[in-house]
Amino acid sequence: MDYYSKQISKLIEELSSLPGIGSKSAQRLAFHLLNLPQERVEQFAGTILEAKRNVRYCKTCFTLTDDEECPICKNPARNRKMIMVVENTRDLAAYEKTGQFEGVYHVLHGAISPMLGIGPNDIKLKELMVRLAGDVDEVIVATNSSLEGETTAMYISKLIKPTGIKVTRIASGVPVGGDLEYIDEVTLLRALEGRVEL
């Protein structure tokens, strides 16, 4: 039996399709949105549409940005000789919150996962290798401690080692199977400081 009209049910269904939003949260959000003034809902919907239209990859590091280059790549104070490789923009943000990393990033947008049919060509590895043709001293591999993250780290290490560039991996402190975006800044900082050469 349906408790709500078609429009309300459809709104709840769409909201519950978002990651981390269960049916109860979707219901709360739906009724919250329906109780907002019309202008506020239009502003909210407009912000989503505007972000979808304007957000793209940074031409250098491939994080998400609404400009040609992200603020980190534009910053002349950043150390371009040190590149931290992360799986996604959320991981980049997690490291930036520590306020301690002065290098630049490279966002892969995924990890190698043969089980899911994701190979090296499906993530931004070719683009990383192009960047390494410049003046780079160290690549810090900060992929997650999952099987996919470890596989990706080993693949990156094998790709880069022949170039003579130092390749390091973030140290333990990041739990196995943990996603970087959910880990506190202190743990991330310890992992960064205790990184080891691959």
State how many domains the chain has.
Answer: 2
| pLDDT tens for each residue of 106-146 | 999 999 998 889 998 999 999 999 999 989 999 999 998 88
Residue 137 counted as domain residue: yes
Q: Which residues, listed in sequence order, are joined to residue 77 by a DSSP beta bridge?
A: none
Determine the structural domain holding residue 19 and report its residue range: 6-54
Is the per-residue pLDDT at 43 higher than 80?
A: yes
**pLDDT at 192 > cutoff 80:** no
Instruction: Let me know if residue 1 belongs to a domain.
Output: no
Helix (H) or strand (E) holding 103: strand 103-107
Q: Is the pLDDT of residue 33 over 60?
A: yes
CA distance 147 to 21: 26
Identify whether residues 68 and 19 lie together within a single domain. no
User: How far apart (Å, rounded) are the C-alpha atoms in residues 117 and 72?
Assistant: 32
Q: Does residue 96 belong to any structural domain of this protein?
A: yes
Distance CA 44, CA 38 (A): 10
Residues 36 and 127 in one domain: no
Domain membership flag for residue 87: yes
The answer to whether residue 59 sits within a structural domain is: no
Q: Which of 17, 143, 138, 152 is nearest to 88 (CA)?
A: 143
- Is 35 in the same domain as 96? no
Same domain, 27 and 124: no
Q: Are residues 130 and 180 in the same domain?
A: yes
Together in a domain, 11 and 50: yes
Task: Answer yes or no: is 121 within a domain.
Answer: yes
Both structure tokens of 165: 């560039």
- Computed over every residue of the chain, the mean pLDDT equals 90
- Whether the per-residue pLDDT at 24 is higher than 70: the answer is yes
- In terms of domains, do 71 and 47 share one? no
Q: What is the pLDDT of residues 63-117, one digit of tens each?
A: 999 999 999 999 999 999 999 999 999 999 999 998 899 999 999 999 999 888 9
